[in-house]
Structure 1
Amino acid sequence: MTEVAFHFNAPDKLGYACRLLRKAQAGGAQVVVTGAPELLRELDTALWTFSALDFVPHCHDAVAFEAVRRRTPVVLAESVRSAPHRQVLVNLGTGVPEGFEGFERLIEVVTGQDEDRLQARRRWKHYADRGYGIIRHDLAQGQ
């Protein structure tokens, strides 16, 4: 069963996602990131610019060749159904990602903004109602 974790109180969703992806990639994880198309474009730019010393290899699912997607540790995908990796899914979107149950781990990144928290509560309820154990990481408390 997919391990579900919520990372709450991210001060900056994209900045936190960049650091999370850098850590995952350094640890050898294969990650798919999903969210709204415009957010994924912003994340693509942020991954190129967030650190002068680090590079997080990534590609966008819609534009990369199959061989490139399979070899790239971080894939940005509007839909996870055709994603090449099934290890870690990071959701930056507002809804439950269709097909999340095919991944070993799901990480939900949530800011402190009221609307983002409200959407996260709905996703939490969705997972809990289906019997998923949920791990909570409150970033405001340094956990």
Structure 2
Amino acid sequence: MTEISFHFNVPDRMAYACRLLRKAVRRGARVVVTAPEPVLVQLDRQLWTFEPVDFVPHAHARGAEPLAPRLRDTPVWLTGAVHDAPHQDVLLNMGDALVEGFESFARVIELVPVDGPSRATGRARWKHYADRGYVLLKHDVAQDASA
């Protein structure tokens, strides 16, 4: 069964995602990131600039564009269509909607901000997973930062 982790009280989803992806790549993980296209474009830009001496190898898959064979082993994929992803290891959801096809991934990470409408949709996703019997792991980012 898919392992699902919620990271709550994320003050800045974009910066947090960059750090999370850097950590995942350092550990050898392969991650698919999904979100609305404008968020993916912003994340793509930020991954190029957030760390002056580090680089998070990533590719941005857009729509029906075929994947170049040389990019298949890229550890981080940014895509709105997870069924087209080249692997099914870890799924990072930066959007507010439940991701169709999430159950094909070994692990799902949901980012939930401190407040606003995205927090409410995060609660709805939590309820959706819990109602279907998934074991949910909770990481309170605000609490971790103060420790």
Moved more, 57-66 or 81-90: 57-66
Question: Which of residues 67, 91, 94 in structure 1 aligns to 2:93?
Answer: 91
Aligned-pair RMSD on alpha carbons? 1.2
Give the counterpart letter for 2:6 in structure 1.
F
Match of 2:73 in 1: 71
Match of 1:55 in 2: 55
CA displacement, residues 72-114 of structure 1 (integer Å, 9 cap, x when unaligned)? 0000010101111111000001111010000000000111122
The answer to whether structure 1 residue 130 and structure 2 residue 111 are counterparts is no
Match of 2:33 in 1: 33
CA displacement, residues 8-50 of structure 1 (integer Å, 9 cap, x when unaligned)? 1111000000000000000000000000000000000000010
Shift >6 Å, 4+ stretches: none
Distance between the aligned counterparts of 1:64 and 1:112, measured in 2? Answer: 37
Pair 126,27 (structure 1): closer, same or farther in 2 beyond 3 Å: same
Distance between the aligned counterparts of 1:70 and 1:130, measured in 2? Answer: 32
Distance between the aligned counterparts of 2:57 and 2:67, measured in 1? Answer: 15
Give the counterpart letter for 2:97 in structure 1.
G
The answer to whether structure 1 residue 8 and structure 2 residue 13 are counterparts is no
Once the 2 structures are TM-superposed, how far is the Cα of residue 64 of structure 1 from its aligned partner? Answer: 6.3
TM-score (norm: length of structure 2): 0.93
**How many residues in Structure 1 have an aligned counterpart in Structure 2?**
143
Would you say the 8 A contact 1:61–1:69 is kept in 2?
Answer: no
Once the 2 structures are TM-superposed, how far is the Cα of residue 140 of structure 1 from its aligned partner? Answer: 0.4
Would you say the 8 A contact 1:8–1:139 is kept in 2?
Answer: yes
Pair 101,64 (structure 1): closer, same or farther in 2 beyond 3 Å: same
TM-score (norm: length of structure 1): 0.96
Would you say the 8 A contact 1:35–1:91 is kept in 2?
Answer: yes
Q: Percent identity?
A: 52
SS in 1 for 2:111: strand
Would you say the 8 A contact 1:69–1:84 is kept in 2?
Answer: no
